[in-house]
Amino acid sequence: MSMRTKVLVSALALAAIAIPVVSEAREIIVDVAPPPPRVEVVPAPRVGYVWAPGYWRWTGHKHVWVNGTWVHERHGWHYAPHTWVERDGRWHYEEGGWRR
């Protein structure tokens, strides 16, 4: 193996160690209620995909709509949509994604 290849392999190994394997969900709590969900026209079903509905994302100062999309199906899992829940007069963001 050439020296250049050894350096490249070493650099890739270090990069793999530096990248976190599990991302931590941020807790988002705001005083501003999200607008009502938008009505989306869901396209015809696609084999091997599940519809992830749109949701209101918080940008730090306002809610912005994110359109729904198809996501690859995961057997043995179900898709939970992104949601906002009111608790004690404040709005808590609950990140959607795959759940067992």
Domain extent listing, the chain: 28-33+48-100
Q: Which residues contact 100 (CB under 8 A, 6 or more apart)?
A: 76, 77
Instruction: Name beta bridge partners: 69.
Output: 52
Q: How many CA atoms lie within 13 A of 88 on its CB side?
A: 1
**Radius of gyration over alpha carbons of the chain, in Å?**
20
The model carries a pTM of 0.71
At residue 25, the pLDDT reads 60
At residue 66, the pLDDT reads 98
At residue 24, the pLDDT reads 53
> How confident is the model over 1-56, as pLDDT tens digits?
554 544 334 444 433 333 333 335 678 999 999 999 999 999 999 999 999 999 99
Q: What is the mean pLDDT of residues 61-80?
A: 97
At residue 2, the pLDDT reads 57
